[in-house]
Copies of this chain bind each other. A is one copy, B any other.
Amino acid sequence: MSGLRGRLVIRRHDFDLDVDLDVEPGSTLALLGPNGAGKSTAVDALTGIVGLDDGRIRLGGRVLDDPAAGVFVPSHQRRMGVVFQRHHLIPHLRVRDNVAFGPQAAGRRRRAARAAADDWIHRFELSELADRRPSELSGGQAQRVAIARALASDPEMLVLDEPMSALDVASRAGVRRDLAAILGDFPGPRLLISHDPTDVFLLADRIAVVEDGRITQTGTPAELRRRPATSYVAALAGRNLLRGSCVAGRIDLDDDDVTITSANTSVSGRALVVIPPQAIALHSDRPHGSPRNAWRTRVAGIEPLGDVVRVTLQAPDGLQADVTPGAIATLSLTPGADVWVSIKATEVEVWPA
């Protein structure tokens, strides 16, 4: 098997998709991107719901779609197990028959198909719901059924479009673990779409970021976290991303009148600066001691996130610092309040832009 290789070009009235996708057998590619970036469109192209306008799709030696060569393999011969973003369970079939639909389509007898379905139903703790119709399921239940159904169809490739968005915290952890195990065992290529960084960092071997129809960054989860190239990726990784010009470790930021010093002096010219929010300290007065970066600004917003509080600052615009709830009280931070910022130069990563 040679995995999935494809260049997907879809032209719509006011949206163009043009992405290269490469997924090795036995590995998981996470396709990430903002709303409307084209992820579900890519899924439609892979599954044969829409035909490519250009490019081509190969899966394990078979060409699935190649408009130039006039090749188009219809959906039902592609053997892609798909979890669609909106589930699309078959409304008049009970849960068991939805899951058994794939095995039956593959030619198994009703009984054998149902038995196969029951394994998956059991695995996803859906046994109690096996005789329900889709309209009688809660949102999360429907999503688990959709995952079970895709896996039961014995596919060559898995395509999961936000498979866990409706799951509750507790079952999400469970399903995520199940999925990790299932993906781990699955010999073919797998494509995962999710907006949850935890899902992605846990389940993906590689990440491709698509924004406005184009791939903007690819890499392993660790690479993307360390070196986000776009503000979307930075938000996903929970990092601050700033742009500027760098000379010997001193970076003049583009948008603000702030200069930041990094311990890394090897970069010069246009640069990307990455700062984790935890590395940013806030003070009521000018900080003393080692931090080589310190300036004064205002609080733009305060969001309690549970164990930490996220403080958004005005300069550089949107810079986010994570501090403890205790610190908020001590510094009596409120939106609009003056505050001193300090960052150790060693916490400031710089990359050539």
Contacts and interface: CB of A to CB of B under 8 A. Distances in A.
Interface of A: 14, 33-37, 39-40, 85-86, 128-129, 137-141, 144, 162, 165-173, 176-177, 180, 195, 197-198, 201-202, 221, 225, 231-232, 235-238, 276, 278, 301, 303-307
Given A36-B137, A86-B86, 7 more contacts: A35-B138, A37-B168, A169-B195, A176-B303, A177-B303, A197-B306, A278-B307
A198 B166 contact: no
A29 B14 CA distance: 40
B140 A202 contact: no
- The winner among A168, A172, A236 for most chain B CB atoms within 10 A is A168
A165 B168 contact: no
B202 A139 contact: no
A237 B306 contact: yes
A35 B166 contact: yes
A35 B139 contact: yes
B165 A235 contact: no
A168 B37 CA distance: 10
A54 B35 CA distance: 42
A139 B85 contact: yes
A199 to B, nearest CB: 10
Given A85-B166, A195-B168, A195-B172, A138 B305 contact: no
A300 to B, nearest CB: 10
Contacts of A144: 35
Contacts of A168: 33-35, 37, 195, 232
Contacts of A140: 34-36, 195
B236 A138 contact: no
Closest 7 CB pairs of A and B: A35-B140, A36-B138, A170-B235, A165-B165, A34-B168, A85-B139, A169-B236
Contacts of A306: 197-198, 201, 221, 225, 237-238
A86 B86 CA distance: 8
Contacts of A232: 168-170
A221 to B, nearest CB: 8
A237 B304 CA distance: 13
Contacts of A236: 169-170
Given A85-B166, A166-B162, A202-B304, A235 B141 contact: no
B177 A195 contact: no
B276 A198 contact: no
